[in-house]
Amino acid sequence: GAGVSQTPSNKVTEKGKYVELRCDPISGHTALYWYRQSLGQGPEFLIYFQGTGAADDSGLPNDRFFAVRPEGSVSTLKIQRTERGDSAVYLCASSLTETSVPDEQFFGPGTRLTVL
Amino acid sequence: AQSVTQLGSHVSVSEGALVLLRCNYSSSVPPYLFWYVQYPNQGLQLLLKYTTGATLVKGINGFEAEFKKSETSFHLTKPSAHMSDAAEYFCAVSGGNQGGKLIFGQGTELSVKP
């Protein structure tokens, strides 16, 4: 079956611009996670959704970052006024559900964002 | 708060040799522990996980890890390395009121020499 997909695979933008990164989770997965991976580092949690609602957005670095999941499937991560420090690989993952004993998270290939 | 420390950003072994990748965690609640592998230009893939029960966990591709609460460790091992094992390996922790979110270590790159 289809895995988690992310588009675009690469995005180059200029400082100050607005970008949107899209994630299509595995069909039927109710939990969706966004992580950011900087060069040479492990993934860093940003936000996760249970259904349509953001259950935990404590990892968003500032108010330039926002994410939505309006119909409980596809999610979009939005970054306003991009800065060079936002350059990273943005990873999306989904799991069947989010419970006290976590299900396996399936990761997409990521979107590599470069801010010039 | 939870955190993970992976000792050694780069490990090199010979083909057929033992693989040992070290992971220590910090958690104020009973942890759930994971090892993920990332091959070049591919997404993260779960190798194995510990939630409850048996402390020795077996995963895919011949890997296993042992949860040692007294040492706050979850080291990953494989008896005999293959060239195909060359990749980046990440240890992660979750649990308690954190929901399902994962806290990752900084990763260990494994190289396998012929």
Interface with chain A: mutation pick from B44, B51, B93, B94, highest number of A CBs within 10 Å: B44
Interchain contact A49–B (C-beta under 8 A): no
SS (H, E, C) chain B: CCEEEEECCEEEEECCCCEEEEEEEECCCCCEEEEEEECCCCCEEEEEEECCCCCEEECHHHCEEEEEHHHCEEEEEECCCCHHHCEEEEEEEECHHHCCCCEECCCEEEEEEC
Number of Cβ pairs closer than 8 Å across A and B?
69
Average per-residue pLDDT for chain A:
93
Question: Chain B: residue nearest A47 by CA?
Answer: B101
CA–CA dist B35, B47 (Å, integer): 5
A71 touches chain B (CB under 8 A): no
pLDDT of the residue at B53: 85
Q: Which residues contact B93 (CB under 8 A, 6 or more apart)?
A: B2, B3, B4, B25, B27, B31, B32, B33, B34, B102, B103
Structure confidence at residue B87 (pLDDT): 96
Q: What is the mean pLDDT of chain B?
A: 92
pLDDT tens for B46-74 read 999 998 888 999 999 999 999 999 999 99
User: pLDDT band for position A96 (50/70/90)?
Assistant: confident
Residue A10 pLDDT class (50, 70, 90 cuts): very high
